[in-house]
Amino acid sequence: MAMDDALAPRSRSASSLGPAEGAAPTARLWHWAGFALPVVFLGAIELLVRLGVLPANLVPAPSMIAGTLTHMGGEHLARHIGASTLRVLAGFGIGTVLAVLVGAAMGLSRKLEALLDPSFQALRAIPSLAWVPVLLLWMGIDEAPKIALVAIGAFFPVHLAVVAGIRNVERKLVELGSVYRLSPSRMLVRILLPAALPQIFTGLRTGLSLAWMFVVAAELIAATRGLGYLLSDGRETGRPDIVFGAILLLALMGKLTDGVMKALEARVLAWRDTDTGEGRR
């Protein structure tokens, strides 16, 4: 009996730890493992190239890629990265604003959705490279066609997310707005858009990744600087180290911008009471 009493406080103390507290170290471990995985992959590529398993003329060693990027100089790389980033931000901003406006209008009006949706779905199926000659013909070879192409790439996933998010708002919330006799504009701002924000942020992150893909398509054909131009220049000069260096920089910039969008999502949607997965292992 005395032994049971002595063990009881310890048992209560162990059981008082919630599942989230117990899973937190494991979650942090997997988080760091996610960052370590690309490093391990690059290390494996380096080893395979050094051992001659992979041909160095087709798959350059990561150390060679790093040396090439270092040899280019920070200022030279900054010009390419800055040019692509500015195009992505400008095109993504324009495409997102248009997508939210048009998507909100279609979400509020089923007649407008029935009228515009078939055309939008057809346009969405057009590959990015198919837009390039049309935009060059209409806008010339300056920055306008590049930004327009990025805007097209960002528009459709955000537009779909806005329409779907508004359509999936709970009926009770819409009925509550009707009880308070909210106008359509106030219903949109006060109820529909806030309720649709989780799905809209998913569309924003998808649109941002597509914006990076579309900017490469634009820079491959008509550009004098940018990561897409760097990619094309490496291909034309037979420099796989430059090609893979541009690809790694694109992956890094895509990850950084997605991380910013993810952090913004967590801050804006902090009010959600959802399962974040901390209790799952």
Q: Indicate the pTM of the whole model.
A: 0.80
Q: Which structural domain, as residue segments, surrounds residue 175?
A: 74-230
- Calculate the average pLDDT of the chain: 83
| Measured distance CA(114)–CA(119) in Å, rounded | 10
152-186 residue pLDDT tens: 999 999 999 999 988 888 877 777 777 777 777 78
List own/partner pairs for 8-12 with CB under 8 A and 24 or more apart: none
Secondary structure class of 224 (helix, strand, coil):
coil
Say if residues 191 and 107 touch (Cβ distance below 8 Å).
no
Amino acid at 223: A
> Has residue 55 been placed in a domain?
no
Report pLDDT for 16.
47
Tell me the pLDDT band of 23, cut-offs 50, 70 and 90. low
Say if residues 248 and 63 touch (Cβ distance below 8 Å).
no
> Has residue 115 been placed in a domain?
yes
Among candidates 81, 104, 101, 105, which has minimal Cα distance to 93? 101
> Has residue 48 been placed in a domain?
no
> Has residue 205 been placed in a domain?
yes
Q: Is the dihedral of CA 19, 21, 27, 29 positive or negative?
A: negative
Residue 127 carries which DSSP code?
-
Among candidates 93, 85, 89, which has minimal Cα distance to 158? 93
Report pLDDT for 24.
61
| Measured distance CA(68)–CA(60) in Å, rounded | 11
184-235 residue pLDDT tens: 778 777 888 888 898 999 999 999 999 999 999 888 777 788 898 898 888 8
Range 85-93 average pLDDT: 95
CATH code: domain of residue 190: 1.10.3720.10
112-168 residue pLDDT tens: 989 999 999 999 888 888 888 888 888 888 888 899 999 999 999 999 999 998 888
Tell me the pLDDT band of 275, cut-offs 50, 70 and 90. low
| Measured distance CA(90)–CA(28) in Å, rounded | 35
Report pLDDT for 212.
93
Alpha helices in the chain (DSSP H): 2-15, 19-50, 62-72, 74-108, 110-124, 128-139, 143-167, 171-179, 184-187, 193-221, 227-236, 240-268
**What's the half-sphere exposure (Cβ side, CA atoms, 13 Å) at 259?**
7
Report pLDDT for 65.
87
Of residues 175 and 100, the one with the higher pLDDT is 100
- Provide, rounded to the nearest whole percent, the portion of the chain with pLDDT above 90: 31
68-82 residue pLDDT tens: 888 887 788 889 999
> Has residue 27 been placed in a domain?
no
* Structural domains of the chain, count: 1
> Has residue 240 been placed in a domain?
no
> Has residue 88 been placed in a domain?
yes
> Has residue 160 been placed in a domain?
yes
